[in-house]
Amino acid sequence: MINGKWYPKGSAVQQGASLSIQNKTFCVSIEGQRPLSGDIASIKVSDRIGRTERKLTLPDGSVFATADNEAVDRLMIPQSRIKRAIHYLESHLIWVLCSGILIVFLSFAFIRWGLPVVSHQIAQILPQKTSEVIGQQSFAFIDKYFLAESRLSSQRKVAIRERFQTKLIPSQKTSKIHYTLHFREWLIDDVSIPNAFALP
């Protein structure tokens, strides 16, 4: 129920009144007058502007006015959710903008810094054997569908392996990881492109 004042059509004389809604029917109880009732959809609700008094124009032209904007929104505006959403955005525009900027920044920060950290932590938690199985299965899939046998000469492969063993392996912090070099060719439109990647 919403308490307020009732004004006859074209008159400034006010009388105490209350508005109640049941299902889709409204009823305005007026002091010393017969109640007015009808379809809620026939009421014209004025836009909400700050805390100013809200006016509801009834089908007979009379007006029910109330300062209880929250009650009007709660009982009347289910029929006009778009207006309520617009009012919310207008009333909280600065917070909406700040929230949007914050979401964009947090998303960027997670992708830029958070994701690498999380990935590193997961990699550290996983047992080495699990990482090796994942790496083997990933390599088998890539090798089957994307790669071909390398056309590098045996001498070139030997030179690369020697450089790998003398330059990379000694710099590793742990000796528990065993590396295996695989030479493959990656063709795109029959053109071999440079490629190098590591799998656990």
- 100-128 per-position pLDDT tens digit: 899 999 999 888 888 878 877 776 777 77
Contact 194, 156 (CB under 8 A): no
Condensed to tens digits (0 to 9), the pLDDT of residues 19-67 reads: 998 888 899 999 988 999 998 888 888 888 878 898 999 999 999 999 9
* pLDDT average, residue stretch 1-15: 90
Residues sharing a CB contact under 8 Å with residue 6, sequence separation 6 or more, in sequence order: 14, 15, 16, 17, 28, 30, 33, 62, 63, 64, 65
Per-domain boundaries in the chain: 2-80, 92-125, 127-200
Q: Which fold has domain 2-80?
A: PH-domain like (2.30.29)
- Mean pLDDT, the chain, integer: 82
The identity of residue 67, as a single letter, is A
Q: Over 70: is that where the pLDDT of 184 sits?
A: yes
Place of tokens 């932590």: 121
User: pTM to 2 decimals?
Assistant: 0.39
